[in-house]
């Protein structure tokens, strides 16, 4: 049956508004499933007779699948186009929802979360690819408004995810937190089929295009799995895991340098220092952010003595301020000032941890979480904008996927650091030790921003071309159109 919307002409000078609904819904699939599970772990463990050590895999399984699947889905988006991958991801999400809803034991549920992780990977790279294509079509080099909407959407889900999970459990039990993916996945299938553009000729591999780099994908997966497994449960007995990760990583780089169509073009990536710096900033900022999400929240309950419901309410201003800051600053595509302000705010927030104690008043806790909301609203959006300008247009999907991979690596490091500094219980002493760790990383984040002079050219009125000798045409561009890309001193990617 033909799609009646596929051939409809979109406005020639502005972003096609019909793309917003599927883009936003696809982009929230991963964050909603990352946050909604937090309130379901205890009832799942009780219902299935699983200890905390086993229910923890429901979180880890999604992170592992997502960290690997994001660049993989992004690569396939670059090759086959966003529509096809978006629909496949939606179908996998529905499948995971069905399996999770009827899962008879914890390990079937873990398998469903793995499928869910891969299914939810396509939404964000597909959205970034669609934004780039619309930019090429309309000639608007910096669609800051659309990027802001995407960022606010994913941040909003961080607010409503646990609340939504609690409501679903109250109405239909813990299985409803998995069943909701059936509804979301079907909605993505319908919206994607109706409104996403049909396959374009320039995204269809030609007959002489090399096949998918299966060996590269396998080595990349082994590298990440070994690294993430060690980060989740660091122990001397598992010291062989980082050795395996290093060996697989070296083999991956060696193979990618020789493959005619590599999964990740290591040679080109190594030449794009600004993009590598953006990945490093995302990693360091994510470690700090997730240390607060995991460590500070745990301290509120065990060190400060708040119950889980009250601790959740105390954290709400963080997300509210983050959304407000994003809304106020998002339409300005420049990123350097946002990153500097975000790094300074992180340092201030980390320093405030040293004045907290077991009897700290609520108003002092609120000051900490309000300050924390400032970098939450600035950093992710700024890094997203930087990547949009620094990545090569025909590689935007894979580049966006890698950005998410570095974010999840940061989450894993934060989880391990929290466990290391707290031990058996989240004490105030442990919180202060954790504060030294995060303040050092926030300082690294600030240094990476101040030393990167190329950031001054990202999102300028000259379409990001300040300091760039010439604009370059790309395979993804419309015929005859010059696409403004990159930042000062940037290399191709």
The answer to whether position 4 is within a domain reads: no
Confidence band (pLDDT; 50, 70, 90) for 468? very low
The answer to whether position 2 is within a domain reads: no
Is 150 in the same domain as 274? no
The answer to whether position 1 is within a domain reads: no
Is 107 in the same domain as 231? no
Return the number of other C-beta atoms located less than 10 Å from residue 393's C-beta: 21
pLDDT, residue 36, reads: 78
For residues 419 and 433, the model is more confident at 433
Q: Is the pLDDT of residue 477 over 70?
A: no
pLDDT, residue 127, reads: 83
Write down the mean pLDDT value for the chain: 79
Confidence band (pLDDT; 50, 70, 90) for 482? very low
For residues 248 and 396, the model is more confident at 248
The burial class, CB within 10 Å (0-12 / 13-18 / 19+), for 173 is middle
The burial class, CB within 10 Å (0-12 / 13-18 / 19+), for 104 is exposed
Confidence band (pLDDT; 50, 70, 90) for 481? very low
Is 329 in the same domain as 455? yes
Is 275 in the same domain as 291? yes
With a CB cutoff of 8 Å and minimum separation 6, the contacts of 303 are 358, 425, 426, 427, 428, 430, 431
The answer to whether position 75 is within a domain reads: yes
The sign one gets for the Cα dihedral 386, 439, 415, 295 is negative
Is 83 in the same domain as 125? yes
Average pLDDT over residues 260-281: 81
Tokens encoding 39:
């309130």
Show which of 171, 200, 229 is a domain's final residue.
200
Note down the domain range covering 47. Answer: 14-200
The burial class, CB within 10 Å (0-12 / 13-18 / 19+), for 264 is buried
For the domain that residue 33 is a member of, what is the CATH number?
A: 1.20.1250.20
Is 189 in the same domain as 226? no
Is 170 in the same domain as 242? no
End-to-end C-alpha distance for the chain, whole angstroms:
38
Confidence band (pLDDT; 50, 70, 90) for 38? low
Q: What is the pLDDT of residues 214-269, one digit of tens each?
A: 888 889 889 988 887 887 777 788 889 999 999 999 999 899 888 887 877 777 67
Q: Is the pLDDT of residue 347 over 60?
A: yes
Q: What is the pLDDT of residues 127-144, one digit of tens each?
A: 888 887 777 777 665 566
Confidence band (pLDDT; 50, 70, 90) for 172? confident
Q: What is the pLDDT of residues 429-458, one digit of tens each?
A: 999 999 999 999 999 999 999 998 888 877
Give CA–CA dist 80/83, Å, rounded.
Answer: 8
Confidence band (pLDDT; 50, 70, 90) for 12? low
Is 185 in the same domain as 219? no
Is 194 in the same domain as 330? no
The answer to whether position 7 is within a domain reads: no
The answer to whether position 405 is within a domain reads: yes
Give CA–CA dist 383/360, Å, rounded.
Answer: 34
The answer to whether position 207 is within a domain reads: no
Residue listed under structure tokens 């309130």? 39
The answer to whether position 9 is within a domain reads: no
Is 453 in the same domain as 324? yes
Q: Is the pLDDT of residue 461 over 50?
A: no
Confidence band (pLDDT; 50, 70, 90) for 487? very low
Give CA–CA dist 175/311, Å, rounded.
Answer: 25
Q: Is the pLDDT of residue 186 over 80?
A: yes
Is 223 in the same domain as 187? no
Whether this prediction's pTM lies above 0.75 is answered by no
Is 219 in the same domain as 295? no
Query: How many domains is the chain built from?
Result: 3
* Phi, psi angle pair for 483, to nearest 5°: -105, 120
Give CA–CA dist 460/465, Å, rounded.
Answer: 7
């Amino acid at each position: 049956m033909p799609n009646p919307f596929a051939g409809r002409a979109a406005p020639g000078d502005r972003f096609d508004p019909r793309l917003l609904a599927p883009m936003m819904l696809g982009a929230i699939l991963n964050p909603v499933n990352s946050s909604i599970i937090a309130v379901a772990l205890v009832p799942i463990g009780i219902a299935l007779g699983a200890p905390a050590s086993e229910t923890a895999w429901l979180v880890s399984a999604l992170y592992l699948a997502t960290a690997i699947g994001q660049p993989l889905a992004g690569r396939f988006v670059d090759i086959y186009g966003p529509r096809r991958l978006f629909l496949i991801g939606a179908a996998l999400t529905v499948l995971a929802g069905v399996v999770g809803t009827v899962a008879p034991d914890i390990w079937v549920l873990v398998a469903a979360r793995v499928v869910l992780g891969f299914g939810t990977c396509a939404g964000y790279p597909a959205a970034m690819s669609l934004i780039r294509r619309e930019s090429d079509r309309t000639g608007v080099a910096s669609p800051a408004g659309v990027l802001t909407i995407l960022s606010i959407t994913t941040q909003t889900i961080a607010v409503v995810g646990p609340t939504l999970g609690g409501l679903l459990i109250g109405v239909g039990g813990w299985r409803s937190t998995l069943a909701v993916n059936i509804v979301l996945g079907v909605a993505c299938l319908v919206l994607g089929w109706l409104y996403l553009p049909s396959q374009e000729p320039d995204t269809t591999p030609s007959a002489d295009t090399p096949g998918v780099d299966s060996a590269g994908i396998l080595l990349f997966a082994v590298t990440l799995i070994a690294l993430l497994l060690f980060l989740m449960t660091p122990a001397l007995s598992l010291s062989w895991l980082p050795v395996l990760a290093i060996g697989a990583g070296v083999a991956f780089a060696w193979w990618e340098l020789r493959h005619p169509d590599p999964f990740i073009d290591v040679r080109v990536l190594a030449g794009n220092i600004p993009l590598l710096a953006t990945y490093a900033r995302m990693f360091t900022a994510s470690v700090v952010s997730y240390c607060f999400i995991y460590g500070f929240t745990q301290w509120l309950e065990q060190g400060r003595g708040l119950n889980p419901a009250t601790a959740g309410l105390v954290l709400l201003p963080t997300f509210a301020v983050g959304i407000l800051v994003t809304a106020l600053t998002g339409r300005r595509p420049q990123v350097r000032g946002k990153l500097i302000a975000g790094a300074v705010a992180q340092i201030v927030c980390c320093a405030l941890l040293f004045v907290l104690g077991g009897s700290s008043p609520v108003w002092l806790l609120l000051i900490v979480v309000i300050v924390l909301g400032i970098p939450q609203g600035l950093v992710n959006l700024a890094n997203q904008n930087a990547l949009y300008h620094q990545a090569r247009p025909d590689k935007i999907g894979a580049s966006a996927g890698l950005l998410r991979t570095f974010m999840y690596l940061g989450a894993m490091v934060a989880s391990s650091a929290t466990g290391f500094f707290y031990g058996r219980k989240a004490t105030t002493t442990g919180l202060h030790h954790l504060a030294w760790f995060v303040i050092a990383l926030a300082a690294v984040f600030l240094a990476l921003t101040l030393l990167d002079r190329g950031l001054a050219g990202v999102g300028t009125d000259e379409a990001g071309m300040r300091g760039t000798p010439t604009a370059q045409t790309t395979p993804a561009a419309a015929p005859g159109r010059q696409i403004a890309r990159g930042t000062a001193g940037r290399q191709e990617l």
